A and B are shown apart, each in its own frame.
Chain A
Amino acid sequence: MLNNILIAITITLMYSAPLTLAAIGGVISERSGITNIGIEGMMSIGALTGAAVGYFTQNPWFGLICAGIAGGLLALLHAVASISCRADQTVSGLAINLIGPGLAMFLSRYFFSGATMTLPVPVKLPKVVDPIYFQNTPFSSLSIDASVVIALIVVIVTSFVLYQTKWGLRIRAMGEHPAAVDTLGVSVYKSRYTCVIISGILAGLGGGTVTLAIISQFTPTAISGQGFIALAAVIFGKWRPIGAYLACLLFGFSQALVILLGGGSIQIPSTLLAMIPYILTIAVLILFVGRSSAPKAAGVPYKKGER
């Protein structure tokens, strides 16, 4: 029993860490008024960059930093389109989702002699709680990655900045009524650029933790849908960092449930079990969460001087 609980905790935290990073990125971008459905693409490029740099430099931390930068660069494209050019943010985000995975696979083939997967990284990100310390104790199946801690710190910092600081107030106001913020002498364009790029960096880090902490290489399926799950978590959490984090934890927990039930005594086809997280999400939304409304100005291009 204790063993199962520990496994559940381990899997929950492991699955939710990359989702959390990406979802917090989504929260920051959307709170500033820029819809970001390109998270999936930014995660993909982060996942590849993390694995490739981690492989060539043998330093997972350097890989993770580069993953963040790669995600941020892709987000810069989204920012230019949706802020400076006032393009449709959904279209631009979708373009990022096409370019990101395409570029990731293209680069993988280029650097790894035609293969769509990279070679395994020699050193993975360290674990904070390593099962090796607990050998022959009841805690031997507990394992917590450094990425889990990073994700938690990001949640706390974002929540603090958004709700307790002047910048946070400005960011939130920008998502509701950008013109009001502009009249106070704050540059909406500049702040939105910052928020979108931070969102890309976090999504890139999320992708990087997948390939540097969970699996140790980039494969075409390394990022398959996590970005969209993160997007759902943003909405699920009602555009709040803590809410998004809880949504990611729920999702991670239901993944743990899938694995635990799969190994249980009752035989249920694994394909049916795999549906649990998605059905559970819808059920929780119906029963507990309900109506949610996006920041008012999210998705609406802002033109200086317009009311």
Chain B
Amino acid sequence: MTRSISRILKSYFMRTFIAVLLGFVVASAILFITGYNPSQCMAVMFNAVFSRPKFIVNVILKSTPIILTGLSVAFAFKMGLFNIGAEGQFIVSTIASAIVGLVFNFHPIIQVPLVIMSGVFAGAIFGGIIGFLKSKFGIHEVITSIMLNWIALYLCNYISNLACFHKPESDGTYPINESGLTLFMYKWKFSEEGRSFLKNNPVLNDIILKTDFNFNFILAVIIAIVVWVVIYKTRKGYEFRACGLNPDAAQNAGIDVNKNIIYTMLISGALSGLAGALALTGSSNPVIHVLPVFENYGFNGLSVALIAGSSPIGCIFAGIMFSALIYAGQSLQFKLGAPSEIVNIMIGTIVFFVALSVIIPVIVDKIVEKEERKSA
């Protein structure tokens, strides 16, 4: 084994790639044992994502919120904080955005930022509470996060059922005012003119008319880059990473660890909040509704961040892959009757092998050492 091959095998990208591959192998094995044809299943999943432009666009649209919650978790990770509360921050953000979007009705130039910022603000507050309780009272962030997730869930159910917001004969609120939506050319694409224009253009028709087409994804990519810059290129980011690596050393070096805990959680919460706000404004059914269980936007963000190894740029790719797997899983159930839960098992296996992949460099080093000893 040459040095360059061993270097490639040891890189994070390659390790993750191997983990993904093994995830597919394990899922195929389980499908085979339970009597489904794995190659047929994989073909269906592949087609579900790539066979039409609409599907590709939908995967990207659905990836936006989990990329952002992934960034939120990854950011807190750099500070050594485990933000399992992204779920709750996401939910309160949708609540705040929905209320503001329902109550006010300004021109879109004001309304859109207002709706989104209220969501971001709500998320930041929820994250900030976690940071404050940790730095002030030393309460472990995992407990507060878990409790706040449930509080957010029940708050959402409470608001959804409030007489002033509740839409009769539904399980949720009225849709927010159209002026707050971030959908691309929402009115135009359903107008006579828009329809006739899109009819002559089958591809555009497929991706614009048949999906909730919007540019939130681009915003998520920009945010990912900003997060990367903040973490690696600014003084504050350096402080965050120092606190994450060794809080005692950071404290000794004159960094206020407690203050940084609060800042980190505020920002992390704001990122999850942005995820929630954009998920609401970028939907053609912009409502909040009664949640019987968590919708997992935040928990999926955890997986995204961990698959990405807490790299902000990695979160983009991990988010898209995650979204594609979920999307493909639905059609697996629909077309073959194979349990869509196989996708959860697959994602779990991928995460598991990502965890295991730290062993790859150790093995590679051993092989290299052996070979060198032989040749010497």
Give the residues in chain A near B84, CB-CB below 8 Å.
Answer: 228
Is B344 touching A101 in the complex (CB atoms < 8 A)? yes
Is B345 touching A99 in the complex (CB atoms < 8 A)? yes
Give the residues in chain A near B9, CB-CB below 8 Å.
Answer: none
Give the residues in chain A near B149, CB-CB below 8 Å.
Answer: 225
Partner of B150, one of A102, A275, A285, A289: A275
Q: A281: CB under 8 A from chain B?
A: yes
Least Cβ–Cβ distance between A227 and chain B, in angstroms = 10
Give the docked Cα–Cα distance between A94 and B142 (Å).
13
Closest to A98 in B: B348
Contact stretch, chosen from A10-18, A130-138, A199-207, A230-238: A230-238
Give the docked Cα–Cα distance between A77 and B355 (Å).
11
Give the residues in chain B near A90, CB-CB below 8 Å.
Answer: 82, 306
Give the residues in chain A near B302, CB-CB below 8 Å.
Answer: 94
Give the residues in chain A near B133, CB-CB below 8 Å.
Answer: 282, 285-286
Q: A87: CB under 8 A from chain B?
A: yes
Give the docked Cα–Cα distance between A114 and B34 (Å).
12
Give B contacts to A, CB under 8 Å: 30, 34, 82, 84, 133, 137-140, 142-144, 146-151, 154-155, 157-158, 161, 292-294, 302-303, 306, 337, 339, 341-345, 347-349, 351-352, 354-356, 358-359
Give the residues in chain A near B351, CB-CB below 8 Å.
Answer: 91, 94-95, 98
Closest to A236 in B: B143
Give the residues in chain B near A100, CB-CB below 8 Å.
Answer: 348
24 residue pairs from A and B, CB less than 8 Å apart:
A81-B352, A81-B355, A87-B355, A90-B306, A95-B352, A95-B355, A98-B303, A98-B351, A102-B341, A106-B339, A110-B339, A221-B292, A231-B146, A235-B142, A269-B158, A269-B161, A271-B154, A274-B150, A274-B154, A275-B154, A278-B147, A278-B148, A281-B143, A290-B138
Is A286 touching B359 in the complex (CB atoms < 8 A)? no
Chain A: number of interface residues, binned into ranges: 35 or more
Give the residues in chain A near B303, CB-CB below 8 Å.
Answer: 94, 98
Give the residues in chain B near A99, CB-CB below 8 Å.
Answer: 344-345, 348-349, 352
Is A103 touching B356 in the complex (CB atoms < 8 A)? no
Q: Known contacts A99-B345, A102-B341, A232-B146; decide if A285 and B34 are in contact (CB<8 Å).
A: no
- The majority secondary structure among interface residues of chain A is helix
Give the docked Cα–Cα distance between A291 and B149 (Å).
21
Q: A279: CB under 8 A from chain B?
A: yes
Give the docked Cα–Cα distance between A94 and B217 (Å).
26
Q: Known contacts A102-B344, A102-B345, A105-B339; decide if A271 and B143 are in contact (CB<8 Å).
A: no
Is B293 touching A221 in the complex (CB atoms < 8 A)? yes
- Please, what's the 1-or-0 string for A94-128, where 1 marks a CB less than 8 Å from any CB in chain B? 11111111110110011000100000000000000
Give the residues in chain A near B337, CB-CB below 8 Å.
Answer: 114
Q: A155: CB under 8 A from chain B?
A: no
Least Cβ–Cβ distance between B357 and chain A, in angstroms = 8
Give the residues in chain A near B139, CB-CB below 8 Å.
Answer: 282, 285-286, 289-292
Give the residues in chain A near B137, CB-CB below 8 Å.
Answer: 285-286, 290-291
Give the residues in chain A near B157, CB-CB below 8 Å.
Answer: 271, 274
Q: Which 6 A-B pairs have the closest CB atoms?
A: A102-B344, A98-B348, A291-B138, A99-B348, A95-B352, A87-B355
Give the docked Cα–Cα distance between A96 and B302 (Å).
13
Least Cβ–Cβ distance between B326 and chain A, in angstroms = 12
Give the docked Cα–Cα distance between A289 and B140 (Å).
11
Interface centre among A91, A101, A110, A221, by most chain B C-beta atoms within 10 angstroms, is: A91
Interface centre among A97, A102, A290, A294, by most chain B C-beta atoms within 10 angstroms, is: A102
